[in-house]
């Protein structure tokens, strides 16, 4: 991974003032956006500073400026960027992680797909959760679509393809057992309808599992990636941030090839493809963004 020096000017909505954030922190924020494509808005700067603090403690670095050197000019800067990204995204995996994104997918994207003349011949919906980690995202999608089955998706079939690089994560997915932290956003309605309590764990019901197929896939494995065609929607959240630019472009190209015309790609919260790919067009949905496949 090549880590470049951040050259973009600090950008913020608040006016310059004596209480302005530390310029080095802004530089780190911009560096993360430039290298990984994930943005920390001003209201998350305190959190970013705290996460940097954890890494500074681990490295025994006393100033943010010195830590910035660890991210830019020290020999291990690429590995350190990965460590910092891990700190930033830690604990994010849970059911119903990004509700505005799910709402936008349901109310706008699904509505478009169901109404599309091209889908009239075969009323089947295919969604790919790429980099599904321990399975919370694909199971959330399965529950959401099951809820839509009697109404928006009446007369439709659907499947969720879920892939991850890590064999142990895939085993966790298949088992489908989750503790409190993962299920903290699950409402009583969904808990009662789609889970079974077993000890201090919640187990995903077979009805939800039946709609999801899990497999281990390395996103840089071209033959495996090429086999995942015909997707209406792809979700790939907080995964591409760990890839260097060339690898990112390679993966995005596969996503493009695997999506049906006008298919949607959803990334993680505050994650962007700016400067990575021109074959997708950024679209705004209610309180969410996505990328739409541009036709060649």
Partner 1 sequence: MNPATMQNAPRSAMAQSLSKKLKNLDQMPTIPAVLLPLMRYLERPVEQMELQQVVSLISQDESLVTKCLSMANSPLFGRSKEVDTIHGAVIALGMQRMRDIAVSCSVLNLMPNKAANFNPTAFWEHSLGCALVCREFARKIRYPDPGKAYLAGLLHDVGIVAHLWIVPQEFQSAVQNAQTQGIALHEAEAVVLGTDHCETGSIVGARWHLTSDLLAVIGSHHAVAGATSHRDLVALVSLSDLLCRMSGLGYGYPEAREVSFIEEPGFSVLLQECPALLDFDWARFTFELEAYMEEVHRLVGAFYRNPN
Residues at the interface with partner 1 (CB under 8 A): 11-19, 33, 39, 41-44, 100, 103, 107-109, 111-112, 270, 272-274, 281-287, 289, 292
Q: For the chain, first and last CA: distance in Å? A: 29
CB of 71 to partner 1, least distance (A): 19
Strands 157-164, 124-130: pairing kind: parallel
d(CA 161, CA 202): 22
To partner 1, the closest distance from the beta carbon of 21 in angstroms equals 10
Q: Which residues, listed in sequence order, are joined to residue 87 by a DSSP beta bridge?
A: none
Q: Which is nearer to partner 1, 226 or 287 (CB)?
A: 287
* Cβ nearer to partner 1, comparing 90 with 282: 282
Q: Which is nearer to partner 1, 165 or 292 (CB)?
A: 292
Least separation, in Å, of the C-beta of 289 and partner 1? 6
- Cβ nearer to partner 1, comparing 58 with 282: 282
Judge residue 118's burial from the number of C-beta atoms within 10 Å of its C-beta, 0-12 exposed, 13-18 middle, 19 or more buried.
Answer: exposed
Cα 78 from Cα 122, distance rounded (Å): 46
Short-list 51, 66, 7, 6, CA closest to 31: 6
Q: Is the C-alpha dihedral spanning 56, 66, 90, 131 positive or negative?
A: negative
User: At its nearest, how many Å lie between partner 1 and the CB of residue 112?
Assistant: 7
Minimum distance from CB of 70 to partner 1 (Å)? Answer: 24
Minimum CB–partner distance for residue 74 and partner 1 (Å): 27
Between 61 and 283, CB nearer to partner 1: 283
Closest CA to 49 of 71, 19, 21: 21
Return d(Cα 227, Cα 237) in angstroms, integer. Answer: 21
Query: In the complex with partner 1, which residue's Cβ is closer, 63 or 287?
Result: 287
Under 8 Å between Cβ of 283 and 289:
yes
Tokens 């959330």 belong to which residue?
Answer: 140
Query: 217 or 267, CB closer to partner 1?
Result: 267
DSSP single-letter state for residue 121: S
**Nearest distance from C-beta of residue 186 to partner 1, angstroms:** 22
Q: Is 86 helix (H, G, I), strand (E, B) or coil?
A: helix
């Amino acid at each position: 991974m090549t880590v470049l020096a951040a050259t973009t000017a600090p950008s913020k909505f608040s006016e310059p003032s004596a209480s302005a954030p530390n310029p080095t922190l802004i530089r780190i924020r911009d560096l993360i956006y430039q290298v990984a494509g994930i943005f920390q808005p001003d209201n998350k700067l305190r959190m970013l500073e705290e996460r940097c603090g954890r890494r500074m403690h681990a490295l025994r670095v006393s100033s943010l400026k010195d830590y910035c050197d660890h991210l830019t000019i020290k020999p291990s800067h690429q590995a350190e960027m990965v460590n910092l990204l891990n700190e930033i995204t830690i604990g994010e995996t849970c059911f119903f992680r990004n509700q505005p994104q799910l709402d936008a997918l349901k109310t706008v994207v699904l509505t478009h797909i169901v109404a599309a003349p091209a889908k009239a011949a075969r009323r089947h919906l295919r969604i790919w959760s790429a980099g599904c980690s321990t399975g919370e995202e694909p199971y959330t999608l399965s529950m959401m679509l099951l809820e839509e089955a009697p109404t928006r998706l009446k007369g439709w079939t659907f499947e969720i393809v879920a892939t991850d690089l890590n064999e142990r994560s895939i085993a966790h997915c298949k088992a489908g057992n989750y503790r409190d932290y993962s299920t903290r956003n699950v409402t009583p309605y969904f808990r009662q309808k789609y889970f079974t309590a077993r000890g201090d764990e919640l187990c995903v019901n077979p009805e939800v599992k039946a709609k999801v197929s899990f497999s281990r896939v390395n996103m840089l494995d071209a033959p495996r990636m090429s086999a995942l065609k015909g997707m209406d929607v792809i979700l790939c959240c907080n995964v591409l941030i760990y890839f260097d630019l060339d690898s990112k472009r390679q993966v995005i190209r596969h996503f493009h090839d695997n999506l049906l015309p006008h298919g949607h790609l959803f990334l993680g919260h505050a994650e962007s493809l700016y400067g990575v790919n021109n074959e997708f067009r950024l679209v705004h949905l209610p309180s969410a963004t996505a990328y739409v496949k541009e036709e060649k």
